[in-house]
Structure 1
Amino acid sequence: MFICSIYVCSVMVATYLMEDPKALVLCGPGMIFTGFMVFGFLYVQGFCYGLAVLTYVSIWIVLRFRKDKVSLLKPISIILGVIVGGWIFNVVLGLFLMKFTRLNFEQNLIIRTYAGITINIGTASDFYIFWFCSKEYRSAFIKQLRLSSIFKDNQIRSIQIASIATHTTTTKEKKYPR
């Protein structure tokens, strides 16, 4: 990560020195690569998304065969759809913008950056999708965060812990001579 940061900073400094200082310099993660690595970045990114899809599909398959966990299929399907749909939307939009529009580089990058928010929303929406689609998940979070008094009947519940101590006394009988 440190080496990547140094590379990005050096590209930005070099661009600043070569270009007009008043010109807008845009730098995205895929833009720092040159030559073959432009396509390498796309392959690695596609591999990571494919791995995420494979993970969700494998979880989906395992849950499908377990009858007691079938209720988790709906949220996992929604999450997978949002992530894959966002990625496909971003790729198709990028191809469309490159092929059929006459936008300059900056406009194209800005549109694709904002379109990429769909991927981030899909990745960050796991909690909310599970919260709204799964009663088990919601009750586990309520129980874990001790929010039951807020979500049930707005009463503060107290837990009493009783400690029982047993006192045993031993009596020793002394025998006195008669």
Structure 2
Amino acid sequence: MNLIIRNERAEDIQQIAAVTVAAFEQEVHSSHTEQFIVDALRKAGQLTVSLVAVDEDHVVGQVAVSPVTVSSGAAGWYGLGPISVLPDWQGQGIGSSLMKAALTELQKQGAAGCVVLGDPDYYNRFGFNAHAGLVLPGVPQAYFQALSFCGEFPAGTVHYHPSFSATE
């Protein structure tokens, strides 16, 4: 394996969609619209970070990061996801490498912090934790987690970009 993590390029877009479909195909908690979300974020100019994991010329993973709003007005917060790795490539540290690279890039850009919706057992290892004052409506608190780059956590309701409602 000769894995490289880099920014997405225009020629990666079809492969990113295919990776995303494959990665979420068997996920029972998936809306199976993740590929549409990534595309809608891209078209809306809301992909702050889009990194791909590439082996030779093949995209095997991708992570998307986009701005979120917090009802308190806290600025500089982003949402990580979706993050996708081809099923045959999972369990090899590719998702972890994408996560670390995305978080590093956010810090370089001066972000205040990042939120993620997902399995606490997975995201805790990157420093994400649930915070009682930070809420995503309709989601159990344990599954909505945050990581602050500046030590402080905002309080309020988090809203993702409307692209997260994309269905095609």
**Normalized against structure 1, the TM-score is what?**
0.27
Q: Which of 1 and 2 has higher RCO (CA within 8 Å, sep 6+)? A: 2
Bigger-Rg structure (1/2): 1
**Normalized against structure 2, the TM-score is what?**
0.29
* Structure with the bigger percentage of strand: 2
* Structure with the bigger percentage of helix: 1
